[in-house]
Structure 1
Amino acid sequence: MSAAAAELLTRQGGPIRTNEALRDKVAIFSDGRCLVSRSNAEDIDVISVIALAGRLGFATQAAEYVDLGSLRSLYSVSREHAVWPAVGRAARDDTAMQREVHELILRARRLEASDIHVVVDGNAVSVRLRVNGELMPLPGGTDGTPVHWQVEHGRQICMTAYAMAAEGGTADANYDPFGYQAGRIVSGLPEGIQAVRLQFNPVGYSGRHMVMRLLYAGHAVGRSLADLGFTATQEAMLGELTESQAGLVVISGPTGSGKTTTLERLMRTIVRRKPGESLLSVEDPPEYRIPGVVQLPVSNLRNDGDRGSAYADAIAAALRSDPDRIMIGEVRTPAAAHYAFEAAMTGHQVLTTLHANDALGIVPRFLDIGVEAYKLRDPSLIRGLLAQRLLKRLCPGCRRQVHPRDSRLAGDALARLLAVVGDGPVWLPGNGCDGCRGGYAGRTVIAELALPDQHLLDLLCAGDRQAAVDYWKSVLGGWSFADHAMDKLLQGIVDPQQIEYRVGRLAAP
């Protein structure tokens, strides 16, 4: 029996008799796990009750030392249930805490946040929102001061959010405050939020880290690729790829770079243009509903090994389901890569994502996870290589136009800016207005896109990166991240400091 489903033997009325004072010191489980309050490590009552467990036939492991709040949280959840800690059921009637979770999500939505971070660590709780790609404290009042929670309140918020996911069947029924867990809240959410994806991580000294990813309903409906930030040329190239019926289109970028949004936008385009095709997706789990696409979920798996195996099984099932095109949320393992290439080699188009630093890094990354070089040298298989990142977009309502010498750059960075724009003006963020937050209004894509030919793939497979970059830019007309960012700088869409921070040194496109 796993610790997450073990019986709490020392609960009130449990097999090992205890009183309230003793329950503040120790918790013993049927799988042998023994949690002891740090301040009572050598307490005679603790030693006695552990010995009693042994005499009753319950073998115990070496003690794990936790804080008092953790013990009280365990017992508060277990008052009505013998299994520790079945919060999916125990917290079901805790409507007050559910309202607080709902209000937290609502406040994040009002600020157009993508994520909520709650860290319960020792004697403090940190609550931050990711807005325009950067973390900021959750405002606690009209004066903007950060919200302040007690440690126990932070634990209860985490536990209740998990319970809400468990009620929807997207997480295990048993909450483990010391383990890695994931879930998804799919009901009872504020208007405009389709779902909230949850990730729980243990933190040293019995702490907890919860990340809530807000998935906005209809976030990309009606938005073109140009609206996301792609150039007209890139939009035309991506449109050309959606007309193809075979090969791989691979999108890369760091976490939070908008890969899923772009992938969804491409699938919606295909649905609109190809209504007679069978479109399937394999996702871990599906983040957004895409009408016209049969979305196969891979979720609620405890470790990467199980997840990788389930992903490969789901892709294999999709191949047996008469698809014309398959979208794979992410290729993470050799098995998933094998099935993705098998699909592409048997006349299906595959759209997927992969973690790589840039567009030309996708082929070497496939080599790293075991894809054979002969497959990667075939331009009929490798049809499109796209990499993207997001930069904060200047608010058009309050941005400021200044001379480069009045920008926030100095030293070598200023010299690089002057080399690019000369005496021409640059745009900086304003002080904020009704249409933005702090001078920025959302984010915009910068992208690299290659439709590779045989020679480019040969160079990449041979490991000659510099020759590949030179050929891509001079012969195939490739644009790097820096090129795209500098173009947006000259248009007044982004500011120079963002480029230096997110992309690299300023340089003329």
Structure 2
Amino acid sequence: MRRRYHASAGGGTLAAQDSLAALQEKLANEQKLVQLIDRIHSAKSLDSIFLEIQGDILVFLEADRMTLYAADIDKKELYSKFLALDAVKEIRLPVNESSVAGYVATSRQTVNIGDAYDTSELGKINGKLRFDASWDKKTGYRTKQVLAMPILHENRVVVGVIQLLNKKKGGRFTKDDELNVARIAKTLGVAFHNQQQMGRSRGTKFDYLLAQGLVTQEDINAAIAGARHKNTDVEAVLMDQYKIPKHEIGAALSQFYRVPFVEFDERVIPPPDLMKDLKLEYLKRNLWLPLRRERDGTTLVLIDNPQDIQRVDSIHQVMRNHKVQLAVALRKDIQQFLAVAGGEGTSPRASMSEILSDLGNEAQAEKDQDISGGEVDENDSAVIRLANQLIVDAYKARASDIHIEPYGSQKDTMIRLRIDGSCNEYQRVPGGFRRALVARVKIMATLDIAERRKPQDGKIKFKLPDGRDIELRVATVPTQGGNEDVVMRILTASEPIPVDKLGMLDRNLREIKTAAEKPYGLILCVGPTGSGKTTTLHSLLGYINKPERKIWTAEDPVEITQYGLRQVQVQPKIGFTFAQAMRAFLRADPDVIMVGEMRDEETAQTGIEASLTGHLVFSTLHTNSAVETVIRLLDMGLDPFNFADALLAVLAQRLVKRICPDCKEEYQPDADEFAELEHAFGGKQETAKFGIEYNDDFVLFRGKGCSNCNGAGYRGRAGIHELLVANDGMKRLISNKARVAEMFTAAKNDGMTTLVQDGILKAIDGLTDIKQVKAVAIK
């Protein structure tokens, strides 16, 4: 009996524990539900519910898939939005019996189906009810259980439908599931109605951009998706990707929020007395700051969303002793202001700002003394520092070119830097300093500062603060209004890149090395200006630069220097051309000759003759592809037999932006993006050769944007290549002046990958992305 009593007591204890656990689980679920309801009510828009909250609702309701539909009363349709890579996409259904959701909206009845493919079960609900299986067929998904419920406002008006697919734990959806869905649906009914009403009465913060024709609604949707992927704000995406000017973004925000828009200005430092009682970390976390006192005594406070009630309330509470005037600013600008307030600054710009401040002081001092009307000249210490700092900052930023662009005395002179192939605004200098700055650069390049009517060219040898020497090629061009533009090309590559580091595919690297090791023949590197041809040729010369070989080069200008090469700069102005240099080299016992460019028939003919008389000749040409190069030279009038005998290889190349390694992320493209890739690659037959197929393991890469790449997602550049090898078959085709298509087919059969194919293979490897390949290689 005692044993039985103890067993019974133990069973009672276990039952109590189970009951307690069930109660705790129920309370936890209730808490989750309350949190979800709060989030739905505080959602800023229907898009926010569709794209951000829907996933959490799905987890709570323990279904495999879920779709929220909103009702479009005017069109008698249901619609939903979902995220597909970098775009927000929309699906629409008619409100009728052709789909479960459509039937639920029509009948205003809840539907709980055990097997969506069981027509008899559907018939019992309604004789016309059909399950739309097209989505299952397209994706390979298998729908079984369906729970769909109308979303009603005040139990009367259908404002949407909530539809769940396949219960996580198997089996039909239960009555408890229906109760949970009903509570969510009731909340959604209120939220959908409110959002629809707000949408009718109030525009969006980008209505101004739409009205001005700067973007389309599709652009806005794509920017929203892009911002979510990059974990940044929509405004940043619109500026970076869609090139919307910052002031236009500001105008849109100002119109929407009905407050002033303020841009970041490095010269504005938040007053210390306003900041002293505020913790910087608190301001960074909440993203607002008091910027300045206005003349009427109000304190201007920057915030990225003046309609964020919670943050605005906290601002008024913290600044309760101040009369607050709100202004809107971009998130990044607020962060920069906070960095300045915290003493972090922006190192290069801070130095430049100090110099500009000194310039202003010097100009004012001279004006006060009535010296030259307050003009600052090229010998002022601040002007000298400005020119020097500009070069140092450009070098640190990895810029290839510096552009100084004056717009007269009344407008700022713009300074832009070309980084990774794109020009970016770096600094604005007051127009009154334009002539002093240009004159200073001309002095450094030993140009005539008095001559402003004609273009001039020169060079600057510049020593960096760390002791390294760099060279800059300077060009001045007279522009409208008596101004002079200056462009400085930074020539920093003192040593060649090893050929193994050029990023060539194995076949291309093997074949180009083989060609470079030949004792005679012609190797051409082709592509547009700035595609890295000179860099590639110097890498090949570095590969064969041995004491037993005499190598002469003719260049314009000499950008890369190598010990062991005898390098000559041509001077067309005095008649010393590439052709003349080559003839001089042939009398100077060469083994290898490199000519900067085959600009004309004379240079090309001399190069052919040199290669046929036992010399290895390297040169460049401005053509688009390897096969096109052959046709171009034949069209110049070269003898096809001699050219065929001389040619060893033609390497076409482009430079693409390299994905920033610090913010690179992988993603799986959708079927449409892969189909586009496959088409560009040459079709299924071509992709199959390289083992490229669309499956769950196929991924591409992109840069999210980070501080190391200034939010661009790219840092540095890489080469993509197309190598035509002149084998016996190709030489016969050249001798016979065959058509382009025949040569192209023969080159492909010999293993040539096109520029596009090479770029796509490197995109798959994560070096670049398809967008960059399209930009440089797809017509």
Partner residue of 1:114? 400
User: How much does 1:347 deviate?
Assistant: 0.9
Residue 464 of structure 1, CA deviation: 0.9
SS of 1:179 mapped into structure 2: coil
Per the alignment, residue 440 of structure 1 pairs with 714
Does the 8 Å contact 1:364/1:463 carry over to 2? no
What is the distance in 2 between the residues matched to 1:375 and 1:130?
Answer: 42
**Cα pair distance change 1:347/1:100, threshold 3 Å:** same
Instruction: Describe the SS at the equivalent of 1:377.
Output: helix
Q: 1:477 to 1:204 in 2, by over 3 A?
A: same
Q: Distance in 2 between matches of 1:100 and 1:211?
A: 16
- Aligned with 1:149 (options 403, 415, 429): 429
| Amino acid of the structure 2 residue aligned with 1:178 | R
Q: Quick check: 1:487 aligned with 2:761?
A: yes
The residue matched to 1:186 in structure 2 has which SS? strand
Normalising by structure 1, report the TM-score: 0.69
The structure that has the greater radius of gyration is: 2
Residue matched to 1:209: 485
Q: Which of 611, 623, 629 pairs up with 1:356?
A: 623
1:88-124 CA distances to partner (integer Å, 9 max, x unpaired)? xx96x66653432221111111111111122224545
Please list, as runs of the form range in 1=range in 2, the aligned pairs for 1:102-181 lying within 5 A after superposition.
102-122=388-408, 123-138=411-426, 147-166=427-446, 173=448, 176-181=451-456
Rounded Cα–Cα distance in structure 1 between residues aligned with 2:435 and 2:522: 44
The one of 238, 242, 246 equivalent to 2:512 is: 238
User: What does 1:387-426 align with in structure 2 at a 5 Å threshold?
Assistant: 387-405=652-670, 422-423=694-695, 424-426=698-700
Deviation of 1:134 after TM superposition, in Å, equals 1.2
- Equivalent residue runs for 1:334-345 within 5 Å: 334-345=601-612
| Maintained 8 Å contact 2:656/2:717 | yes
Residue 287 of structure 1 and its aligned partner are, at CA, apart by 0.8
Matching of residue 97 in structure 1 with residue 383 in structure 2: yes
Paired residues for 1:20-99 under 5 Å: 96-99=382-385
**Aligned 8 A contact 2:680 2:756 in 1:** no
CA contact (8 A) 1:394 1:495 kept: yes
Give the C-alpha shift of residue 129 in structure 1: 1.1
Closer/same/farther in 2, CA of residues 325 and 105 from structure 1, 3 Å limit: same
Whether 1:386 and 2:654 are equivalent positions in the alignment is: no
- Determine the structure 2 residue equivalent to 1:310: 577
1:7-63 deviation line (CA, Å, top 9, x unaligned): xxxxxxxxxxxxxxxxxxxxxxxxxxxxxxxxxxxxxxxxxxxxxxxxxxxxxxxxx
Aligned to 1:276: 548
Q: How far 1:415 moved relative to its partner?
A: 9.0
Q: Pick closer, same or farther for the CA change 1:356–1:428 going to 2, 3 Å.
A: same
Q: Is structure 2 residue 294 aligned with structure 1 residue 294?
A: no
Q: Are residues 276 and 428 of structure 1, via their aligned partners in 2, closer, same or farther at CA, if it must alter by over 3 Å?
A: same
Q: CA deviation at 1:249?
A: 0.8
SS at match of 1:230: coil
Give the root-mean-square deviation of aligned CA atoms. Answer: 3.0
Counterpart in the other structure of 1:196: 472
1:136 offset after TM fit, Å? Answer: 1.0
- CA distance in 2 between partners of 1:136 and 1:246 (Å): 44
Output the amino acid matched with 1:159: A
- Summarize the Cα distance change of 1:319–1:443 in structure 2 as closer, same or farther, 3 Å threshold: same
Partner SS for 2:406: strand
Match of 2:745 in 1: 470
Counterpart position of 1:39: none
| % identical aligned pairs | 29
> Compared with structure 1, are the counterparts of its residues 410 and 234 closer, same or farther at alpha carbon in structure 2 (3 Å cutoff)?
closer
Residue 459 (structure 1) shift: 3.8
Amino acid at match of 2:767: I
1:114, 1:205 → 2: CA distance?
28
Q: Give the equivalent residue in structure 2 for 1:50.
A: none
TM-fit CA distance, 1:395: 2.1
CA shift at 1:496, angstroms?
1.8
Is the Cα contact below 8 Å between 1:116 and 1:128 reproduced in 2?
Answer: yes
Q: Which amino acid aligns with 2:484?
A: R
Aligned: 1:456 with 2:721: no
Conservation of the 8 A alpha-carbon contact between 1:459 and 1:465: no
2:771 pairs with 497, 501, 506, which one? 497
Cross-structure match for 2:591: 324
Number of residue pairs matched by the alignment: 389
Shift of 1:360: 1.4
Using the alignment, how far apart are the partners of 1:153 and 1:281 within structure 2?
42
CA contact (8 A) 1:397 1:433 kept: no
- Residue 404 of structure 1 aligns to a residue whose secondary structure is coil
How far apart are the structure 1 equivalents of 2:778 and 2:389?
A: 39
Structure 1 residues 467 and 414: alpha-carbon distance in aligned structure 2, compared to 1, 3 A threshold: closer
The partner residue of 2:458 within 183, 188, 195 is 183
Q: Using the TM superposition, give the Cα deviation of residue 292 of structure 1 relative to its aligned residue in structure 2, in angstroms.
A: 0.6
Cα contact 1:116–1:212 (8 A) shared by 2: yes
Deviation (angstroms), 1:454:
4.3
Q: Could you say if the C-alpha distance between residues 243 and 314 of structure 1 is closer, same or farther in structure 2, counting changes exceeding 3 Å?
A: same
Amino acid of the residue matched to residue 209 of structure 1? D
* AA in 2 matched with 1:148: R
Counterpart-to-counterpart distance in 1, 2:451 and 2:600: 27
The residue aligned with 2:521 is 247
Partner letter of residue 396 of structure 1? Answer: P
Tell me what 1:373 maps to. 640
Stretch moving more, 119-128 or 416-425: 416-425
Letter in 2 for 1:201: V
The amino acid that maps onto 1:97 is V
Contact residue 454 and residue 477 of structure 2 kept, 8 A: yes
Q: Deviations over 1:396-420 (max 9, x none)?
A: 331121221499x799689979987
Which of the two has greater helix per residue?
2
Secondary structure of 1:344's counterpart equals: helix
Contact 2:516–2:540 (CA<8 Å) still a contact in 1? yes
Give the AA of the match of 2:451.
D
- The answer to whether the Cα contact below 8 Å between 1:456 and 1:471 also exists between their aligned partners in 2 is yes
User: How big is each residue's C-alpha offset from its partner over 1:270-311, in whole Å with a ceiling of 9 and x where there is no partner?
Assistant: 11xx32111111111211211110111224x55xxx56x533
CA distance in 2, matches of 1:329, 1:207: 33
Look up the equivalent residue of 1:469 and give its one-letter code: F
Deviation at 1:329, TM superposition (A): 1.4
Gaps of at least 5 residues in structure 1 are 1-89, 139-146, 167-171
Higher RCO, Cα 8 Å, sep 6+:
1
Label 1:241 to 1:415 Cα distance change in 2 as closer, same or farther (>3 A): closer
Which TM-score applies when normalising by structure 2?
A: 0.46
Q: Retained in 2: the 8 A contact 1:192–1:217? A: no
SS, match of residue 438 in structure 1: coil
Q: Which sections of structure 2, spanning at least 5 residues, go unmatched?
A: 1-376, 685-691
In 2, Cα distance between equivalents of 1:267 and 1:233: 19
Q: Distance in 1 between matches of 2:579 and 2:450?
A: 28
1:435 shift after superposition = 7.3
1:58-94 deviations in Å (ceiling 9; x for gaps): xxxxxxxxxxxxxxxxxxxxxxxxxxxxxxxx96x66
Write the distance in 2 (CA, Å) between the matches of 1:126 and 1:444: 29
